[in-house]
Amino acid sequence: MQRFVIRSLRRLIAGSLAAGSLMALPAHAAGGYATPDYQQGEAWLANRLTMPAPATRARNLILFLGDGMSVTTLTAARILEGQQQGMPGEENFLSFERFPYSALVKTYNTNQQTPDSAGTMSAIVTGVKTRAGMLSIGPEQLRASCEGQQAHELTTLLEYASQQGMATGVVTSARLTHATPAATYAHTSERDWEANSDLSDEAIANGCEDIASQLISRGFAHGLDLAMGGGRRNFVLETAGGVRTDQDLTSQFTQQYPEGQYLASRNDLFHMSARTPILGLFADSHMAYEYDRDDSQPSLQEMTFAALQVLQQQTRGSDQGYVLIIEGARIDHAHHAGNAYRALTDAIEMAKAVDFADRMTNDADTLIVVTADHSHTLSFAGYPDRGNNILGLAKYKGVSTKADDGAPYTTLGYANGMGASTLPPQQTTTDTPRQLGRIPWHDDINCSHPNFYQAALGQRSSETHGSDDVALHAKGPGSQWFRGLLEQNTIFHLTSRALNLTTQTPVAAQSGENL
C-alpha cells in the first residue's frame, strides 16, 4: 500500500489539469454561459427538471465545515476565484454552490445570540444545541465545571457511526484539539482545556481530562480511524517543545496502536499506507493559511484526498461505509484578524477540497454536505462596478467613491476589528507590513495586498463572530431533505436519517418527503 496516496493524487491532479481546470464546469453546463441571460435561465430549468430524485439511503457521508464561512464570505470568495481566472467574478460559482439542494441554518447557542464554534459544532454532531464553550456536553452543564459532567455527555455522529460498523475520520486545518474538530470526539465543559497544562490542579483532581488525551484514550479507542490537522504541541512534552507536563501522547499513540501510523509532515502523508488508526499532526499549532503554506505541510485538498483514499480502502467490499468530517478552519482565523484576503483564499481552498471529494465519490451512495458553524461581521457594499476588484476600493464608473470624510473605502469591511485603528499617513506598497485603519487612505492604496486589513467600524484586537444565518449546500442520498430554514442541530438528525443510523432518540421512520 506504500506510496498509493502520492501516486493517486498526482493522477487526479493531472486529470484535472488535462480537463482545463480543477474547477472545470460540469459537462451538462458546458457552453451554456455564453448565451443570453434568458436562454441561460431556460438551460438551468431544463437541467433541474431532468435531475433524478436522490435516494434516501446514503452509504457514506462527507461533511465539510467552513469555520466562520458566512454568506458574505461565500459571495466574496466566489467573485475572487472568478477574478483570479480572468472573469468579472460575479458569474462564478464555488464548486459546492452548484449542488442541487441548499438551506439556511440558524446558529445561536442556548445561552448566546452570537455563537462560538464549540456550541455550534456540538449541535451539528450531536443533534442537541448547547452552551458556548462546551464540547458535546448538554446545556444543563455549567461551563468549565467537571462536577456532574459525565451525566450530560452527548454521543457524537462519529461515535454512533463507529459503534455501527462505519469507518470514521476528522480532518482540519486548525489544531485537532481546537473547538470544531474536538467536538467530534471529545466531551468537555471547557473548549480551552486542550492540553493537561491548561487544567488547574483542582480540575484534574475532579476528573477533568484534557482534549488531546481524549483523542488518544477515547477517540481512537472508540473506533476513530483517522485524525489529521495541527496542534502537535498539545500532544508533546514541554521538554520536547510542547506544552504537556504529564506524558508524550504521540508515544502513547504508537505504543497503544502499533498497527497505526503517526504522521508529522506532508512527506509522511504522501508515503503513508491505508493502515489505521492514523494520527496526523502537521504543525505545532494551527496549520498555515493556504497563502502562507510551504511544502512542509499538506494542503486541505491533499488531506481530504488522503483521508478519502484510506476510508474507501477500509470500507471496500463492506456494506458499511464511512463518515468523514472536514474543517476549513482558517477562514475563521483570518476573519478574526480582519484580513479578508486570507479568509477568502482559504474559502477557495476548501471549495477545491469539496471538488476533490465530489469527483472521488459516487452521487448514488455518498451524501456531501457543506456548511458553516457561524458567520462573521464581513460586509459587502458601496455600489462598486461589475467586475470591480473584490479586495479593492469601491469604484463606480472606474472612480473611487468617497465617504463623507472625503476618503475612499473598500468594498469589503467589518463591523469591528483591527481595521478601525487610525494611523498617520503611510504609502502602502507590496512590501509593507499589515496596514491598520482606513483614515487617511488614498486612491492608490494597495487594498489587494495579502497583509491588508479591511476597514472596520469598531476597534477591537480581534473581530467578532456574527449572528446571522449561514448557508448549507448538499448533494447525494438524503440531500433533498436539506431545504428551507433549519435549526443547526437538525443537521445531525438529517444526516443520521440518511445513513440509517440508530441513535439514542430514534429518528422517525418516515418517508424522506415528510422530513
Catalytic residue among 70, 95, 102, 117: 117
**Alpha-carbon dihedral 43, 44, 49, 52, rounded to 10 degrees:** 120
- The span from the CA of 116 to the CA of 238, in Å, is 29
- The span from the CA of 64 to the CA of 395, in Å, is 35
pLDDT digits (tens, 9 = 90+) for 471-480: 999 999 999 9
pLDDT tops 70 at residue 7: no
Return the H-helix or E-strand segment holding 491: helix 490-499
CB 110 within 8 A of CB 128: no
Which of 385, 169, 42 is closest to 393 using CA atoms? Answer: 385
Return the pLDDT at 41: 79
Return the pLDDT at 465: 98
Give the percent of the chain with pLDDT over 70: 87
The reported pTM is: 0.90
DSSP annotation string for 225-240: -EEEEE-GGGTSBGGG
Q: Which three cell numbers stand for residue 5?
A: 496516496
pLDDT digits (tens, 9 = 90+) for 160-177: 999 999 999 999 999 999
Q: Distances from the Cα of 163 to the Cαs of 136, 197, 491, in angstroms?
A: 17, 31, 20
pLDDT tops 50 at residue 495: yes
Residue type, 442: H
pLDDT digits (tens, 9 = 90+) for 85-127: 999 999 999 999 999 999 999 999 999 999 999 999 999 999 9
| Pairing mode, strands 375-376 and 378-380 | unpaired
Q: Is 197 a catalytic residue?
A: no
CB 381 within 8 A of CB 347: no
What are the chain's domains?
60-377+470-506 (3.40.720.10), 381-463 (no CATH)
Q: Bridge partners of 294?
A: none
The whole-number average pLDDT for the span 56-85 is 98
Which of 277, 303, 129, 307 is closest to 215 using CA atoms? Answer: 277
pLDDT digits (tens, 9 = 90+) for 385-428: 999 999 999 999 999 999 887 888 899 999 999 888 654 444 44
CB 372 within 8 A of CB 94: no
| Pairing mode, strands 412-417 and 465-466 | unpaired
CB 420 within 8 A of CB 403: no
pLDDT digits (tens, 9 = 90+) for 221-260: 999 999 999 999 999 999 999 999 999 999 999 999 999 9
Q: Measure the CA angle with vertex 113, ends 108 and 119; round to 5°.
A: 40
Which of 58, 136, 54 is closest to 100 using CA atoms? Answer: 54
Q: Which three cell numbers stand for residue 327?
A: 474543517
Return the pLDDT at 3: 59
pLDDT digits (tens, 9 = 90+) for 353-396: 999 999 999 999 999 999 999 999 999 999 999 999 999 999 99
pLDDT class of 20 with cuts at 50, 70, 90:
very low
Dmax over Cα atoms in the chain, in whole Å?
A: 70
Which of 350, 269, 340, 301 is closest to 97 using CA atoms? Answer: 350
The whole-number average pLDDT for the span 187-206 is 95
